Amino acid sequence: MIVYNKKMLDNEVLRDEADVLYKGGFISKEQKKFIEKELSVLKSQNNILVRIGFFLLGCLLFLSICGAISVFGLQTEERAYLQICCYLFAVVGFIGAELLSAKNYHNHGLDDAFILGALLNLGIAIAISTEGYEAVIAFFVALGALFMFLRYLHLPSMLVFCLAATAFLFFGMFEFGDIGKAILPFTAMLFAGIFYFLTKKRISDIKENYYYNGLLLANSFCLVLFYLSCNYLVVRELSMELLGTEVKPGTDIPFAFFFYVFTFVVPVVYLVQALKTKDRIMLWISFLAIGFSIYTIRFYYSVLPIEVALTLGGVVLFAIAYFSIKKLKEKESGLTFKPDRINHTDNFLNAEALIVASTFGMKPEVKTVSPMEFGGGGFSGGGSSESF
Amino acid sequence: MTKFDEQTAQKLFDKNLITENQFKEIKAYRALHIFSLNTELKLFLYLSVLLFTSGIGILIYENIDTIGHIAILSLLLIVIAVCFYYCFKNSKGFQKSETSFEHPVLEYLVLAGNILTCIFIGYLQFQYKPFGEHYGLATLVPTIISFFCAYYFDNKSVLTIGVTGLAAYVGLSVAPQDLLNNNDFYASQNLSYSAVMLGVLLILWTIYSNRISLKTHFNLIFLTFALHIISIAAISNLTNYDTMTWIIFAVIMASSIYYFYKASYDNKSMSLYVFMIVYGYIGANMFLFRIFENVDFSAIWELFFFLLPAYFIGSIVLFIKLIKKFNKEITE
């Protein structure tokens, strides 16, 4: 099923490992260079900026090919052409992906453009044919995305597959009318839970690592879906949207207590579990989940005014970080504050300066708009910007 | 993942690509099962500074008439003093090369102290107008303080605040989100020229600091700002009606692209290189468009549609070559 040469895929893993070991200071630069010369690999882009650049170029190329086809098509039989044009474009995307993979492009940006373009056009094509029947669209997009993942080992396709499969579940439940909509949170929760353990089992069973990253992505997706499925905010807003029920003051949605407990227990469980099993992805999901839970509460109850909440939140977070660092600073193994020689990423630390510039950068004087409107990072720096 | 990591190291060893000693060392290190929270905890510190200072900023803004001014000012001053007291106490003093604090918390205290100082001066100016009507001065003072802190404590985040302050003094907003959806440059011609001047100034400063080897790791930040400021100013002026103006900016664009092509090789910076190419590509296309805009293509516009894919394939091949060349040179 995999279109790429397996030897090259193996080499890619070895090369990445050599890179990691070099950065960790285990092997010398000459050794790393020698390894890179010995092992031939696929053409891929590790730099995310370059990959995005090639993705955009690929999109332009894809669009221009579609445009050229349309010039032909519209001149011959306009109505019929409009019916089938998106199928044609999807085929163009597929052919492009096939050609690029034959030339050993993998995770390069160009192939991303063609694969995702094919999936998008497949969805639009089926939407045109079925006149917007959501469940069918979701089903075929999921099928297409799964195929793309299995054949080209394309991770974004796996994400599309997860989203489309979830959408299929949702729209499928809508078919059952109001009962389906009412039990939707529980169905989604069950679905996410079952698939979490299935993918986890599969990960521990696989012998070869080609599909490892995709399974890991699906596994993490299940964690996120599980949390969101019974989050109080999501359930309440969705039930208002779908069932049209209105929550009057003094009343609450059915099973409100359960959803409240769920909203707060699940992130904590994730956090504890992540620290116990040393699972970094789960750790990050738990951070985000805790953040979203706080947002959930603030969405309905203004416990504190926003400025006090921000200031106090800052102080509390600072205290947590400070004492954790103090506790972990001297530890040499297990849970520690010392940078890991192997899995150390400081991408975020590089982005830090950029975020500071965008939230606290100073603006020139004479501004008609109040600088305070920029949400959380309100203060816009040096002085005279406040002179209105 | 650990399962496969062990295997890969083993495979490298089997292929005789790493020595036995190295393999043993790697194995021993992995056996420690290190799970480092370094990035996460630093992120927490950073978030806490952002939350706290935003909170204080809003607090002052909302209650500007209710709480006593003196109370707010003195409270701010105390917090600032505490921040800087710890920073100065633990700093190793000014150094020309890259330094860092013993304790990571201090780096974030510098940031907090600096942002609070900016708030303090802004509030002071709003309420008591110590700088009178010289609003430029009220921007310049926090800028100078930011640059001092950035150079003394070696802090990149504070440095970016300083650069945005400098640009604000000239009359520009160079916060990333404003650069992306700016309209300032269309409004006034002079602003574009001062933007280019600011960019050139930043470049000259990097050249000078290289010569006296003063905090050379800051150069990348200065160059990044310079590239974006100059390129965006030039691109938005390429659409100008006046023939003279857009030709001037086309020349500026071309020379800045040439300079940054060299600079990205010197600094071995991929991000600089990529953005240089992107701006160059946009600029070149606009230039072509401007040249052909008076030619009448209505007879052969269909041909244009068929040429377009070929044009994109051509540019893709060119970019792949450029990137490959760059990658090859910086690894050597």
With beta carbons under 8 A apart, name residues in chain B contacting A14.
8, 11-12, 15, 17
> Interface pTM (ipTM) of the complex?
0.80
With beta carbons under 8 A apart, name residues in chain A contacting B58.
306-307, 310, 372, 378-379
Q: Do both B46 and B149 map to the same domain?
A: yes
Of B245, B291, B312, residue with least CA distance to A53? B312
B91 in any annotated domain: yes
What secondary structure letter does DSSP report for B293?
Answer: T
B313 in any annotated domain: no
For position A369, what pLDDT does the model report? 31
Q: Do both B185 and B251 map to the same domain?
A: yes
With beta carbons under 8 A apart, name residues in chain B contacting A307.
55-56, 58-59, 62
B325 in any annotated domain: no
* Interchain proximity B274–A50, CB inside 8 Å: yes
**B210-230, pLDDT tens digit by residue?**
888 888 888 888 998 899 888
B329 in any annotated domain: no
Do the Cβ atoms of B103 and B153 come closer than 8 Å?
A: no
**B50-100, pLDDT tens digit by residue?**
888 888 888 877 776 666 777 778 888 898 898 888 888 887 777 777 777
Which among A306, A339, A386 is the nearest to B122, CB-wise?
A: A386
Q: Do both B93 and B19 map to the same domain?
A: no
Q: Is A290 on the interface with B (CB under 8 A)?
A: no
* Interchain proximity B52–A318, CB inside 8 Å: yes
For position A222, what pLDDT does the model report? 93
Question: Model-level pTM?
Answer: 0.83
Which among B33, B53, B170 is the nearest to A379, CB-wise?
A: B53
Q: Is B313 on the interface with A (CB under 8 A)?
A: yes
Q: Is B138 on the interface with A (CB under 8 A)?
A: yes
Q: Do both B151 and B182 map to the same domain?
A: no
Q: Do both B253 and B143 map to the same domain?
A: no
Q: Is B331 on the interface with A (CB under 8 A)?
A: yes
Do the Cβ atoms of B224 and B263 come closer than 8 Å?
A: no
Q: Hey, which residues 146-205 in chain B have their CB within 8 Å of chain A?
A: 156-161, 163-165, 167-178
B215 in any annotated domain: yes
**Phi-psi group of A60: left, alpha or beta (phi > 0 → left; psi -120 to 50 → alpha; rest → beta):** alpha
Tokens of B319: 């970019």
Q: Do both B219 and B270 map to the same domain?
A: yes
Dist. CA B318–CA B327, nearest whole Å: 14
Rg (CA), chain B: 26
- At how many degrees (to 10) do helices B243-267 and B270-292 cross? 160
Q: How distant is the Cα of B173 from the closest Cα of chain A, in angstroms? A: 5
* Interchain proximity A34–B105, CB inside 8 Å: no
Q: Do both B258 and B279 map to the same domain?
A: yes
What secondary structure letter does DSSP report for A105?
Answer: B
**Phi-psi group of B33: left, alpha or beta (phi > 0 → left; psi -120 to 50 → alpha; rest → beta):** left
B25 in any annotated domain: yes
For position B119, what pLDDT does the model report? 84
Q: Do both B48 and B138 map to the same domain?
A: yes
For position B200, what pLDDT does the model report? 92
Q: Do both B241 and B195 map to the same domain?
A: yes
To test the contact with chain A by mutation, choose from B18, B30, B164 the residue with the greatest count of A C-beta atoms within 10 A, namely: B164
Q: Do both B60 and B115 map to the same domain?
A: yes
Dist. CA B3–CA A205, nearest whole Å: 11
B324 in any annotated domain: no
For position A6, what pLDDT does the model report? 82
Q: Do both B231 and B114 map to the same domain?
A: no
Q: How distant is the Cα of B2 from the closest Cα of chain A, in angstroms? A: 11
Segments of chain A scoring below 70 in pLDDT: 343-388
Dist. CA B259–CA B261, nearest whole Å: 5
End residue of a domain, out of B116, B145, B170 = B170
For position A95, what pLDDT does the model report? 92
Q: Do both B63 and B45 map to the same domain?
A: yes
Residue B245: which domain range? 178-295
B315 in any annotated domain: no
Closest-CA residue of chain B to A21 = B26
Segments of chain B scoring below 50 in pLDDT: none
Number of structural domains found in chain B: 3
Q: Is B254 on the interface with A (CB under 8 A)?
A: no
Q: Is B118 on the interface with A (CB under 8 A)?
A: yes
Cβ-Cβ contacts under 8 Å for A134 (sequence gap 6 or more): A167, A171
